[in-house]
Structure 1
Amino acid sequence: MAVTDRVRYFLKNGFLPSPSKRKPAPTVSPSLQALTVAALALPGLILPAAHAAEEDEVNFQYSHYQEGKRKLYNVKNTRNPIEVESVVGKARISLTDRIKFAFNYIQDTWSGATPITTSPLAANGNRAILADTPSGKTITTGASPYIYGQMLLNKKFVPIVVDPQGKAIGRTFLPVHVLSMASPETRKQGDFTLGYEWDEAAVNIGGGISIENDYESRFGNINGRWDFNQKLTTLNLGLSYTNSDTAARIDHDAEIYLVKDAYDQQIEKSGNINVLRGNRQDWGTSLGLTQVLNKTALVETSIGYTRSTGYMENPYKATTIVFADPKTLGTDFSNPNAIVGQVRAFLEQRPDERNQVSVGGRYIQHIGLLDAALHLDYRFFHDDWGINAHTFEADWVQPIASTWTVTPKVRYYSQDAADFYYPYIIAKQAYSSTNPNKNLPANFSSDQRLSAFGALSGGVAISKKLSKAVSIEAGFEYYTHAGSLKMDGGGEGRYSDFNYYQANASLNVNLAALNSGGGSSGHAHDHHGHHSGSHGPAGVMFGHMLNKTNEVMVGYRYMYNRQAGDMLHGTHPASDQAIRKNACLTGYTKNCRVTPTEMDMHMHMLDIMYAPTDWLNLMLMPQFVDMEMNMRMLDGLTYNPFQDHVHSDGDHSAHATGGVGDTGMYALFKLFDKEGHHVHATLGLSAPTGDVDIKLRPMHHKDGGYIHYGMQLGSGTWDFKPSVTYTGKLNQWSWGAQFNATTRLQNKNGSGYALGDIFQGTAWGSYHFTPWLSASVRGVYTGQADIDGKFKPVSGVSNNVLVKNVNPGSKANYSTGPMDYTGSYGGRYWDIGFGLNFTVPSGDLQGNSLGVEWLQPVQDDVNGYQLDREGALSATWSVMF
């Protein structure tokens, strides 16, 4: 192994094994991607330049982040805390011996309640300042808490606690977080790296884009590596640029109280809502040095600098300001010694530039006696906002036997507060509606991530080598976030304490090991070539079997479905007038007010197949789903925020869901297999692992209503999925047919309904232009029944969201649009598909198969009123060993 390769191996695996005792490379998955720990604990973290990829591989990872409930003292907290579900796909391949390419895809879906500000909990009953409604009956949190009203303060400008009748009772006041609930939101990011390697140097260029409904970020980078000192020393240098645009919709509920004068020039009117727009630019550079000390020890240091300019605020964070005019002393007759304060919520105001420096070091030591590795990390962060942060981390990488690796870890983080951080502000002056910012600090924020706190976490990662080519891993880490954990004291009070955890699981396929004979079958490529001829189109599931005992196939399947255009009733377009009159049933408080304009569904699925015998295959298919729907008001109606707070023109006209879908478990049985003809049957169960109780954010009520049936993540029932498949082949031609069905094994799920049963028949023909390339055409018929039952009632939802005075047996839940009626699901559909299949015939990626198919609708005959279909795309990758 060359010294440079040894350095990379050391960095990846944590030790330099001797040639006689070299272990399979353990894989340790990263922490939850995308904006979890980095956003919550390490603002402005600068990472060192990445090292060149060592081996070709494909990796899939699922992560779950979950916060615990916030402490609100005597205030009842009914809101679910933040949770994030993430899926990550990575691929690294060698285009030539010198040219390397890597691609990453990350998708996160966020939901739950998060703090938007902090305020004194100094009032009760009628004098509440934080309430769901202007009546102030409760001090709690809502979708958009009502942060407005009066507060009493003593002569020292300290808030006074009062009883429900407004009388001071003298208890010590406490600050408390004000939580805001949001509907699920999804972020998607794709990025790439293209690199070229010389004998003693390498250069990588990369870029990508991250997209959310209200935020878009584009970035690019270039990194270089130079090996010298007989290749015992490596120098890394990187440069990056990011350009980000914010387009945040200001909640109409907040318009009546939120002070946003500082952003008048950045707020634009869009439909019925205001949109705050801002641009931010970030330039970053990093320098890293890696030194091999000896064959068992390595040290790495790095320094990075980032300059950020532009719109730096979080548009959903506010700061509570109490305007306590001394002249109001004695004006409250119940409390003559009190000052009457006016409470207002201001959008936070941060500086428009930020300079950040990060310095880090890592030491790795191989422990020969235990054949383990110790990782010690330290990182220091400083910026001109006043934040100084320290991160200490230790991992112990312990191989067990020949295929297991256990990695316990511990991490400690501490930071100072930003100079402009305030839990809330007491302004000793009267509030001026014409000049609200007069005499206030130029910058202020109550964002908890800018406060002084510490975080302590511990966790473990366990990896298992299934073969030289395939490994799996699971990890768990638990965090405690508390002001008392700050390194030198002075952290936030215990009102800001909370706990959270993150868990992940991953599957890694080492393509280099496959090509070096690391599969379970020495003839893997030959067999894969044989199967490429019998593979059905990419949109056909369970289209082929593995033929040899102990063969394994790992694959990835992506499916995209789009609906847009006309609303249909049966086979014909439906007018807005017809939808208003007929799509929403009678007996409700109002008729249809909105209709969908487009809906996109994305599904990411793993195909893991194993052949315990030559006549039986077992298959596991976990999946991750996300959907987005856009709405519009029906013609002839006007927007009413108190009627249309669930679906409104502009406000929540686009909403999304995402997360783990249902998980399939299947057995494939060979029934007939003669030269040129093959028949097999599939018996499967779909486990209800996808959520079916996702709700929209609450508005004028305590709880939000369920999001539409078609945007829940699974069926919620155990489902039986049988199929029979026939395939044939003669010379350059191949063909096939399949009948499959889905039968619900329960009459309703936990939310009160059951999706309709499905029957599908399909037939296809393929022509092979070469042994490795074929094209296909197929026809598909699908029939699906409508939904049985309906969503069960949600406590506290007003009648214009979940109507309670429905007729017995009615199949509806909401009265907002046809997508909320169970009779507007299912139908009969005819499609034609066009596909290509490709198998890599030689080289480093020999045996990898790729397929793609576009399914074009021919005719729809829908139940009720549904959005027309535009088409569906399926893409697959698989490798067998």
Structure 2
Amino acid sequence: MQRKEAVVVAIKASKGNGHKLPENASLLALTSAALVLPGLFSPLANAAETDEVDFQYSHYQEGKRSISSGIIDPVSGDNTVAGIKNTFNPIEVDSLHGHANVTLTDRIKFAFNYTQDTWGGATPIATAPAVFGGNAELVSADGLTVVGATPYLQGFNQVLLDSKLNPVQFATPFDPTSGLIRNNQLSHTLATASPETRKQGDFKLTYEWDEVALSGGGGISVEDDYESRFGNIGGRWDLNQKRTTLNLDLSYTNSDTHATLNHDTLPYIDIKAYDLRGQIDTLSSVADAQILHGNRQDWGTHFGVSQVLNKDALMSADVSYTRSTGYMANPYKAVSVVFIDPGQQTNAPPGGFEGRLKALLEQRPDERNQWNLGGRYVQYLHNLDAALHFDYRFSADDWGIQAHTFEADWVQPLGSGWTVTPRVRYYSQDAADFYTPWLVSQQAYKQKFDAKGHAVGLSYDPGKLPANFSSDQRLSGFGALSGGISVTKRFAKGLSLETGFEYYTHQGSFKIGGGGEGSYADFDYWVANAALKVDLAALSLGGGSIANAHAGHTHFDHGGQAPAGVMFSHMLHQAGDFMVGYRYMYGNQSGNMLHGTDPVSDQAIVANGCGLNPCFLRPGSMTMHMHMLDLMYAPTDWLTLMLMPQFVDMSMSMGALNGAPDPQTVLDFNLSQHIPHHIQSGHETGGIGDLGMYAMFKLFDKGIHHVHATAGLSAPTGDVDIQLARNHQVDGGFIDYGMQLGSGTWDFKPSLTYTGQLDQLSWGTQANGIVRMDSQNKSGYALGNLFQATAWGGYNLTHWLIASVRGIYTLQDSIQGQFNGRINQFGPMDYPSNYGGQYWDVGFGLSAVVPSGDLAGNRLSVEWLQPVEDKVNGYQLERDGALSATWSVMF
């Protein structure tokens, strides 16, 4: 991945049943602990020993950076000890991870991973001496706080150097007679980004013999500006009665960068070197967007050996090699260069130089060879019923980076199903040979233009610069120390909840041997996570309801199985029953813009879609993905409780409206610059949504007929204050209403459901609603109330497969109120009156249950919802359809 400054970290908590193990089980516990102690997710699917399904959510949060360790007070001339502070929000990442491992036959196993990250915030893109003023448009009265917008990589003051090329400034600004003050303090230049999302899916298929296993897999990782495809093959060989295990893996990755360069930075960053190589494309159809493209290939091999030393100890070692070729630079990182023109030194200080500050896109080598060597030792401690886990890893490459990693974990069962795992980790690396915070080049920077006024050729002699250079702090010398703790609770056989927290600090002074980067680049972050894990094999062996399922029926089949898109459709039958499920929903809008039921032209939208203001943009498409967990428990046979956390991500593309006025004649210049950005990049959001809490009450249950009522509350845990990136001096403002992650209000969600079943036929009907219990959320508005009625019928095609047809009517009010902060109203999606309406749909579904075997009782359902008619409020994009898919299993 190219853009992210932060590596998304997910802490995976350890296993532990909380009971003292018998002698013959201690080695199994030891091995399990070694496999699942807290750490990073593997980029490839790993086949587990047992069938399992798990879901994990994590949140990464950086601290706000002090982007310089000090700055000269321009009035007093004192070198203050405080650093430059910034007003930009730091990086935040919301991550969702799902994993499944299933035994297809006695010898064939299938594993699948899905990971999704949504991030936004400010990240460094370059470094320069603080006295150059490259970070600030305006400095506050105390001389310390950056209150303007970045990225500006040229200072508005003179760039002055002394005879030894140290940065200097006049003691009194603009007064050459006041004397010079030297200040070598460095400062980051930050750039902000609107939210964006990366999605990755990968799989692995394994075939096992008695002592040998072969596996193969692959996957893809996709984001707006980067796509990576990878494949791998591997083998495992067990020796010495499985006390010794050898592993060999080969992998190949092919990655493409297609980054839209920030139009804000193009006046300041020279991209001509890449343009002359043919890596820059100009898309005149998308506001003259500059696209940098490149390809990278990685070949890797890994060999590992693990050895059981005795019944309480395990040791392993591994070595790996990776060769990378192609484009390996980050398209959003630049290096500040001071060009000293020998012929233009009239304003130079005595004995010193004046220069022109420019920024060049970083240039990294197009080849890299990396080696890694690691070892692990795990010791089970009988007296404490605990396991100690220690790792060391050394890595080196031909870029000059050498790194050491030390990590230790302590896995401690506490009884009653509780396990706690504290963890500490230390990392240190040397800087890359070509790492440099900034450069000085004694040559003129002279732009050349063609007859049409377009810049052509290089404005400098590349031979007077290093062949490769980067100021990316991840290539600098630094050390990092982190500590964390994870807690696991096993609620029932096969079901566990895991939570974790980790704090990390990155400092140049932590580097082994010293000589790390300056304190201007120090930062810290924390990560919190929660995970739910279902061990399907343990459920099967435990003789629970899965093992006792018969003929494709389980306790919650009363009234037949409802289509996948119907929520709150069934209760648990017996007191003490527990069910866990996963629900996925997808919706898409594209095509015509509607007013009521009729398509409308661009000219009509321009004139009427934005109230008294003209419209400039319209949505081209909008896609929504929602992931939900269904956690159900029956304390009695007439009451079922349900908890439903959810994770949401959405994307919207934008298009210009034909006939719209020139935005610069209606808006100010800086504000009008947002419109090309909307067209180039669209909008993305993602993260945790609102949390649903429900109680279902049995009202009637006689033979073929069943009636129950649901009373629910939705807690406002989803963000409703997501904003776009700042542009020049203009705040990006709120992203539009439909792209926020929740309602922001406490919502009452009642429903009444009737279901019936006779022989092969099943049917049902439901009425449900959403009532907003607050007049407005913290951002100043409230979504409209909703009413929905649905009816369906199903037929058992076989004893394990049901087909269904459903009709749905939905009525939703428009949004009340409006954002209480800045929102740039460029299109219909930015106005509350253009939300809500009446909708008619028909659904087609299938529902299947595993009838026998270890996975008996696992149910999968899918339903496609096809729009029949839309009657929208105001001006809205028509709907294409929606997909619902569910998985569930009961204990």
Instruction: Compute the TM-score of the two structures, normalised by the length of structure 2.
Output: 0.90
Offset of 1:844 from its aligned partner?
1.6
Distance 1:606 1:647 in 2: 38
Q: Within 5 Å, which residues of 2 pair with 1:347-362?
A: 347-362=361-376
* 2:161 matches 1:159: no
Offset of 1:553 from its aligned partner?
0.3
Give 1:685's aligned residue. Answer: 713
* 2:517 matches 1:509: no
Amino acid at match of 1:776: S
2:304 to 288, 296, 300: 288
Offset of 1:528 from its aligned partner?
5.1
- Could you list the per-position Cα deviations for residues 212-254 of structure 1 after superposition, in whole angstroms to 9, with x for gaps in the alignment? 0111000000010001123211100000000000000011122
Q: Within 5 Å, which residues of 2 pair with 1:774-853?
A: 774-794=802-822, 802=823, 814-853=824-863
Amino acid at match of 1:605: M
Give 1:856's aligned residue. Answer: 866
Offset of 1:866 from its aligned partner?
0.2
Would the alpha carbon gap of residues 164 and 88 (structure 1) be closer, same or farther in structure 2, given more than 3 Å must change?
farther
Whether the 8 Å CA contact 2:135–2:146 is kept in 1: the answer is: yes
* 2:151 matches 1:144: yes
Offset of 1:404 from its aligned partner?
1.2
Whether the 8 Å CA contact 2:371–2:395 is kept in 1: the answer is: yes
* 2:212 matches 1:201: yes
Distance 1:62 1:207 in 2: 23
* 2:549 matches 1:549: no
Would the alpha carbon gap of residues 429 and 822 (structure 1) be closer, same or farther in structure 2, given more than 3 Å must change?
same
State the identity %.
60
Offset of 1:178 from its aligned partner?
0.9
Give 2:281's aligned residue. Answer: 268
Whether the 8 Å CA contact 1:477–1:503 is kept in 2: the answer is: yes
Distance 1:269 1:17 in 2: 68
Whether the 8 Å CA contact 2:45–2:203 is kept in 1: the answer is: no
Would the alpha carbon gap of residues 253 and 497 (structure 1) be closer, same or farther in structure 2, given more than 3 Å must change?
same
Offset of 1:415 from its aligned partner?
0.2
Distance 1:631 1:132 in 2: 30
Offset of 1:524 from its aligned partner?
6.0
Whether the 8 Å CA contact 2:340–2:353 is kept in 1: the answer is: yes
SS at match of 1:547: coil
Whether the 8 Å CA contact 1:646–1:652 is kept in 2: the answer is: no
Offset of 1:728 from its aligned partner?
0.6
Give 1:611's aligned residue. Answer: 634
SS at match of 2:474: helix
Give 1:756's aligned residue. Answer: 784
Would the alpha carbon gap of residues 184 and 169 (structure 1) be closer, same or farther in structure 2, given more than 3 Å must change?
same
The runs of 5 or more residues in structure 1 that have no matched partner are: 1-10, 35-46, 795-801, 803-813
Amino acid at match of 1:387: I
Give 1:247's aligned residue. Answer: 258
Give 1:5's aligned residue. Answer: none
* 2:379 matches 1:365: yes
* 2:592 matches 1:566: yes
Offset of 1:438 from its aligned partner?
4.1
Distance 1:131 1:767 in 2: 68
1:130 to 124, 128, 135: 135
Once the two structures are overlaid, the 10-residue window that deviates more, 765-774 or 21-30, is: 21-30
Size of the aligned set, in residue pairs, is: 831
SS at match of 1:854: strand
Whether the 8 Å CA contact 1:308–1:353 is kept in 2: the answer is: yes
Amino acid at match of 1:190: G
Distance 1:154 1:817 in 2: 53
Distance 2:378 2:725 in 1: 47
* 2:427 matches 1:404: no
Would the alpha carbon gap of residues 865 and 650 (structure 1) be closer, same or farther in structure 2, given more than 3 Å must change?
closer
SS at match of 1:612: strand
Give 1:416's aligned residue. Answer: 430
* 2:651 matches 1:656: no
RMSD: 2.5
Give 1:699's aligned residue. Answer: 727
Offset of 1:146 from its aligned partner?
4.5
1:722 to 741, 747, 750: 750
SS at match of 2:492: coil
Give 1:85's aligned residue. Answer: 94
Distance 2:700 2:881 in 1: 34
2:59 to 55, 64, 74: 64
SS at match of 1:681: strand
Q: Within 5 Å, which residues of 2 pair with 1:587-666?
A: 588=613, 591-637=614-660, 642-648=670-676, 651-666=679-694
Whether the 8 Å CA contact 2:698–2:707 is kept in 1: the answer is: yes
Offset of 1:164 from its aligned partner?
6.9
- Could you list the per-position Cα deviations for residues 755-811 of structure 1 after superposition, in whole angstroms to 9, with x for gaps in the alignment? 0000000010101112211011010000000011101124xxxxxxx4xxxxxxxxx
Q: Within 5 Å, which residues of 2 pair with 1:4-403?
A: 18-19=23-24, 28=36, 30-31=38-39, 33=41, 52-73=47-68, 74-123=83-132, 128-132=133-137, 142=149, 144-147=151-154, 150-162=158-170, 165-167=173-175, 170=181, 172-264=183-275, 265-270=278-283, 271-272=286-287, 273-325=289-341, 327-332=343-348, 335-336=349-350, 338-403=352-417
Offset of 1:258 from its aligned partner?
1.0
2:794 to 766, 775, 779: 766
- Could you list the per-position Cα deviations for residues 694-728 of structure 1 after superposition, in whole angstroms to 9, with x for gaps in the alignment? 01111022522110100000000111100000001
Distance 1:129 1:517 in 2: 65
SS at match of 2:719: coil
Q: Within 5 Å, which residues of 2 pair with 1:439-588?
A: 439-517=464-542, 519=544, 523=548, 529-532=554-557, 534-586=560-612, 588=613
- Could you list the per-position Cα deviations for residues 413-440 of structure 1 after superposition, in whole angstroms to 9, with x for gaps in the alignment? 0000000000111223322334423401
- Could you list the per-position Cα deviations for residues 50-79 of structure 1 after superposition, in whole angstroms to 9, with x for gaps in the alignment? 874200000000011111011134534111
Whether the 8 Å CA contact 2:395–2:402 is kept in 1: the answer is: yes
Distance 1:514 1:409 in 2: 30
Would the alpha carbon gap of residues 139 and 12 (structure 1) be closer, same or farther in structure 2, given more than 3 Å must change?
closer
Whether the 8 Å CA contact 2:545–2:890 is kept in 1: the answer is: no
Would the alpha carbon gap of residues 835 and 607 (structure 1) be closer, same or farther in structure 2, given more than 3 Å must change?
same
Amino acid at match of 1:100: K
Distance 2:26 2:192 in 1: 54
Once the two structures are overlaid, the 10-residue window that deviates more, 536-545 or 437-446, is: 437-446
SS at match of 1:155: coil
Whether the 8 Å CA contact 1:278–1:311 is kept in 2: the answer is: yes
